[in-house]
Structure 1
Amino acid sequence: MIGRVPTFHGLVVATSMVVAAPPLAAQFGAVGLSGVRAQRFANEALVVYGPEANDQLALSLAVGDFNGDGADDLAAGAPFDNNAFGAIPDSGIVVVRYGVPGVGLNAGPANDVLTQAAAGSPDPAEAGDELGAALASCDLNADGFDDLAVGVPSERILGFGNAGAVQVHFGSSTGLPHAADQFLSQDSPGVPGDPDHVFQFGFALACADVDGDGFDDLMIGSLSGRVAGAPELSGFLIVVPGAPLSLDLDGSYLVSQDSPGIVDQAEWGDRFGSTLAAGDFDGDGFADVAVGVSGETGANGIQCGAVHVIRGSALGLTAAGNQLWRETDFGATCAAPGGFAIALAVGDFDSDGREDLLVGLPLKSFGGTAIPIGGQAIAVRGDVGGLNPSTAQLWVETGIHGPGNTESNDLFGYALVAGDFDGDDFDDAAIGHPGESHVAPGDGAVTILMGGPSGLSAARRHLLRSGYWGTPGIADQPSRTYGAALAAGDFDGDSHHDLAIGAPDENENGLADVGALVALYGALFADGFEVGTTGLWSVAVP
């Protein structure tokens, strides 16, 4: 069972505008991804690290070129792994597999395991740390190698349980070091605030260059934190600037809904910073940050959720022009909590040079209580003034795949990612619905929507299921949560984005919830003719 969804009060009862599904014949166009060369990676034995029940490998995923060879690499978190020899329960590890130019992800054993049990670690591995629950990758020290930030949200700090921490592994020509290069918490000099029980600092991570200095900056959110004096669970965001050798802790600063000039105010249960995504929504050359406020209360007194967009500038994140958006601003309705902003993703779906935002509402229900937790996703395009609500597109499974496809507990929108899978310069969207039931209950699925001049479109779409239509994996396994984590990158260096799909609750060899992941490769042609079906993605030209 997925364990990382924030808890809300009640279920959703809502109706909504949807985008109508095109005719069945229209859905099998070239959607870019291919079943040829697709790979499945199980939770494997790696010397002293063996698969155990409840590891939940691939609960988090991140992509970056950590060794600078021109092919992206894949990091997969297993936050409930018991570490070397199974000796430290739920301490967590991160498994790294390197991409090879012209080939793809290394097909042999995973290349590296990142752990606090490694020699030289700045902090020891401890039971319940949950290292790897969140991951983010970018070039924090501008040396040409991507780096990996790893959330340790249940780290004990100064005796405070689940206070949380983050560690950073810097990339190099040899990849990522097993032990972290830098470890930070709210007890670190220069980092604002103080650690406290159950803040879970590091629950959410994102990185991008918000001040335009050429160094990517790290944004850190918490699940249950608050600024001193603010209401419980109100939340905050901490920005740590990138710098030549390591993160500049002394330059860190904190943003909350009580910061001067920020729209709205900190309130109980807002969870400002529980999800994060970064992109240049207004095209001014500075990355902006979308901050999930998944417990924000609307005018109707219901915790409908919101997303707060805070703009970048030469001075970093600024209150100038910040925007607070609720689902009702985008044409949706909220009669009960739907989990608005539990998931966020950024991509340029219309290729206009301004990035767009995709927001997940996986707890959204429909038809009164007839279809609880079916889920929804909303795409909003960027504009010179930031996000433009008039461009919002509301997506549900019924509107994409046809009547009857929105079902109870699908969790459509639980995970999101953008990537240009077909190489047409328009980013496409992958939407996970890990609770989807087909032959088996809760076996999970991923929907692909393609980008174009008007944004996302269902004219070319596909439904990905484990073990079907050329997608590798075990077919029809119940409650595997296939699609609970997604990441996109170019694993073979061919300029087409590829897709990684996590199934953290996949069972294997009698072990429950050990986890697995699948990689599908982007291609110029992916039409299915080679295998005799128009429903299967295949490849003629890589």
Structure 2
Amino acid sequence: MRLLIALPLALTLVAGCGDKDTSDDSSADDSGTEVDPCPGDVDADNDGSCDAVDCDPTDAYTYPGANEIPYDGKDNDCAGDGDLTDVDGDGHDGERAGGDDCNDGNPTVYPGATEICYDGIDQDCGGNEDTNDCDGDGFDGRGENAQDCDDNDPEIYPGQVEIWYNGVDNDCSGYNDSDYDADGDGDDHEDYEEGTDCDDTDPLTAGGNPERWDGEDRNCDGVVDNLDIGDGVSAWFGDRGNQDGFLGTGLALLDDYDGDGMRSVAAGGWGSTDSTFDGVVYVVDPADEGASFINAATFTLTGGEGTYFGMTVANAGDLDGDGYDELLAGGPLVNNSGGVRLYMGSLIAAGGSTGAGSGVTLMTGNNYVGFDSAGVGDVDGDGVDDLAVGTGWWATPHVVVYSGADALDGGTLSPVSALSQIDGPNGTGGQTVGRLDYDGDGLKDILVGAATDASGNIALVPGPDASSGELVSTGDLDRIRGSTGQRLGLTNGWMDDIDGNGYPEILVRAYGADGAATLGGEVMVIDSSLLLDGDQTASNVASFVVQGTVSNGHLKTPERTGDHDGDGVEDLLVMAVGDRELVNVAVLDGDTGTRATAWVHFSDEVIAGGTVLSDESDVEIRSENDDDLMGFTSAVGDVDGNGKADVVFGTPNASATAGGAWVLLSFLDE
């Protein structure tokens, strides 16, 4: 059986040889006679190709038409092209033939071929089956050191110059979902899709951002410096649960007690402890995040029962020269008939909480002093700043000026030991303001409001009179007089010689003037050099007038102005507070629907003179809520040390009459 099976297989193999007859070179014609395929010649290697045409008659695998055998050193098909050394036809000889093609069976693999990343094949015969830097830009696209966000493009890698708005993240920064957020603030440029960013080069500018007082339109609403007090750096609120009441009625900008670069703020609230009206004063640091006063306070003074402590708060200056500002704080029922205490800056810097009685000195007077207090500068020329306490608008004008040196000695001071006592003959008083030298004699002078229940006037108290040891009547002093119903002197202020003539400018508030709206009020700027010749009517000598545009706004200014834009000249801040400013203290809260607003008129406008409307301003600052009385108190000064004057606003009627205070920083021209 094996033989029978093997025989057909052998026959099949012989038949399969085709034209490669290995037995002999003969063939048969039709008659059966064998015919020699190479007559006159031979086929020595029996490859079916006569030696005459066989390029290698000794090799049965070499003849015309034979299949090429790569890398055997022979021209197997006798085509005259030599050995087959580039099997895949990619133009590169295989390595077995001494060439540089690392895979001669794949036409896509050869030196210089485009590398296909991450496929496990070394397309360019570089020696690595794969590379983590596919595009050869020097940054891996995968692996432990992967940084390249597009490893197929050598123009995309970390550190590359970003070409914005081309749809490509060239520098692999990765912070933009699209390529239309050049400043990385999360808001696309307003020209693209859903973007609302009107300045895509500045991350502080984007649609819906809070405004910033810097001369730029930060929220992309089309209006520059259209601010809310909520855009400020810090805010503190009273807490009705803590029985806070009317915090911000007293307000002062103090020193940087902890060296963090931010000046502290003192806020007084006479209504604290509800029905007993003990009052409280908190000192807070704007560097800390806004919070309730009680949680944010670095220093706290608590008043005695029923004293209305915190009704007045003022910066007394650094009386003892230790580098810390002292604090004045008081109330109309402190010591029964009113008083103001001096608290040393070192006590405040130490922090903590203490009672109102910890003041080094109690300064008293008549008719409920403690509605008003002021650091008035050195009126007697002894080198120590002096102090004033008064009744403010509560009663007939009554101001007592005390020696700062005496106050440092401690104890209780009464009018009999004062530098002077300034009283008005009739009507109600107003704010006392000092630290200005309006007559140029080198001593600090004082402004005292008088007759503020009618036309009103501002008495000019020269330093020699303020330190005379005498009883001084406002009726005997030179005055700035108001017109019928203006109520001059309720609050007063001054600017530091903005026109360069050597004399400060006095800020006169006409509380009861109509201005550009009913009871909108007016603010007048008067060069004090015009007051050296005696009484003057305010409207006759005012060089610049701002008319209030808010009905019942009663336009006013802070006690001191400041240089908000850093040009070296002070600017004018005016505020429309509302109609609840001068009511009985027991019912300060109320609802009149007035949203307090402040505006800034820059120095060049004020110096140019004329009459303007309050809202004709490049800067507008609005309160958070109706009737919060933003600007009832305010303090202007450089809070953060950047050389620009900032503003602190009191809002004593905010948070359901618990009160509040806000700090708004100026970044103009930065």
State if a TM-score over 0.5 links the two structures: yes
**Judging changes above 3 Å, is the alpha-carbon distance between structure 1 residues 450 and 34 closer, same or farther for their aligned structure 2 residues?**
farther
CA contact (8 A) 2:593 2:627 kept: yes
Question: Aligned letter for 2:418?
Answer: S
**Judging changes above 3 Å, is the alpha-carbon distance between structure 1 residues 41 and 68 closer, same or farther for their aligned structure 2 residues?**
closer
Cα distance in 2, alignment partners of residues 456 and 417 from structure 1? 20
Question: Aligned letter for 2:647?
Answer: L
Find 1:324's aligned residue among 478, 482, 488.
478
Is residue 281 from structure 1 mapped to residue 443 from structure 2 by the alignment? no
Find 2:271's aligned residue among 65, 73, 80.
80
Query: After superposition, where does 1:404-415 map in structure 2 within 5 Å?
Result: 406-413=549-556
Deviations 1:60-85 (A, max 9, x none): 21112162736422111111111xxx
Segments of structure 2 that go 5 or more residues without pairing to the other structure are 1-221, 581-591
Is residue 221 from structure 1 mapped to residue 221 from structure 2 by the alignment? no
Is residue 449 from structure 1 mapped to residue 630 from structure 2 by the alignment? no
Cα distance in 2, alignment partners of residues 176 and 356 from structure 1? 38
Shift of 1:323: 4.6
More helix by share: 2
Deviations 1:19-76 (A, max 9, x none): xxxxxxxxx999899989722423256xxx95447x1111221112162736422111
Find 1:65's aligned residue among 255, 259, 264.
255
**Judging changes above 3 Å, is the alpha-carbon distance between structure 1 residues 76 and 314 closer, same or farther for their aligned structure 2 residues?**
same
CA contact (8 A) 2:530 2:541 kept: no
Is residue 111 from structure 1 mapped to residue 260 from structure 2 by the alignment? no
Cα distance in 2, alignment partners of residues 383 and 96 from structure 1? 38
**Judging changes above 3 Å, is the alpha-carbon distance between structure 1 residues 105 and 278 closer, same or farther for their aligned structure 2 residues?**
farther
Cα distance in 2, alignment partners of residues 420 and 387 from structure 1? 30
In our comparison, the structure showing a higher alpha carbon Rg is: 2
Cα distance in 1, alignment partners of residues 462 and 227 from structure 2? 33
SS at match of 1:383: helix
Cα distance in 1, alignment partners of residues 351 and 608 from structure 2? 35
Cα distance in 2, alignment partners of residues 448 and 68 from structure 1? 31
Query: After superposition, where does 1:195-274 map in structure 2 within 5 Å?
Result: 195=366, 199-207=367-375, 208-223=377-392, 233-243=395-405, 246=408, 249=413, 252-257=418-423, 266-271=424-429, 274=431
Is residue 290 from structure 1 mapped to residue 447 from structure 2 by the alignment? yes
Partner of residue 90, structure 1: 277
Cα distance in 2, alignment partners of residues 221 and 135 from structure 1? 12
Find 1:513's aligned residue among 654, 657, 670.
657
CA contact (8 A) 1:444 1:479 kept: yes
Find 1:427's aligned residue among 564, 570, 580.
570
Question: Aligned letter for 2:359?
Answer: D
Partner of residue 306, structure 1: 457
Find 2:349's aligned residue among 164, 174, 177.
174
Question: Aligned letter for 1:432?
Answer: M
Alignment RMSD, CA only? 3.8
Question: Aligned letter for 2:463?
Answer: G
Deviations 1:395-454 (A, max 9, x none): 3446xxxxxxx34311212755411111212111222211289xx921211121222496
Deviations 1:456-515 (A, max 9, x none): 76685422113xxxxxxx3xx3222122211012221222211011211113xxxx1122
Partner of residue 83, structure 2: none
Shift of 1:167: 1.0
Deviations 1:171-230 (A, max 9, x none): 0282567443324243xxxxxx6x5xxx121211111111232211001112479xxxxx
Is residue 381 from structure 1 mapped to residue 527 from structure 2 by the alignment? yes
Question: Aligned letter for 1:95?
Answer: Y
CA contact (8 A) 2:227 2:621 kept: no
Q: Which has the higher contact order (CA 8 A, sep 6+)?
A: 1
Shift of 1:133: 1.0
Question: Aligned letter for 2:391?
Answer: S
Shift of 1:307: 0.4
CA contact (8 A) 2:550 2:576 kept: no
More strand by share: 1
SS at match of 1:201: coil
Question: Aligned letter for 1:363?
Answer: G
Question: Aligned letter for 1:325?
Answer: R
Partner of residue 361, structure 1: 510
Question: Aligned letter for 1:446?
Answer: A
Q: Structure 1 residues 104-113 or 144-153, which shifts more?
A: 104-113
User: If the length of structure 2 is used for normalisation, what is the TM-score?
Assistant: 0.54
Cα distance in 1, alignment partners of residues 300 and 351 from structure 2? 8
Question: Aligned letter for 2:369?
Answer: F
Count how many residue pairs are aligned between Structure 1 and Structure 2.
Answer: 411
User: If the length of structure 1 is used for normalisation, what is the TM-score?
Assistant: 0.66
Find 1:126's aligned residue among 296, 299, 305.
305
Cα distance in 1, alignment partners of residues 392 and 465 from structure 2? 29
Cα distance in 2, alignment partners of residues 502 and 150 from structure 1? 16
Segments of structure 1 that go 5 or more residues without pairing to the other structure are 1-27, 118-124, 158-162, 187-192, 226-232, 258-265, 297-302, 329-333, 399-405, 467-473, 526-540
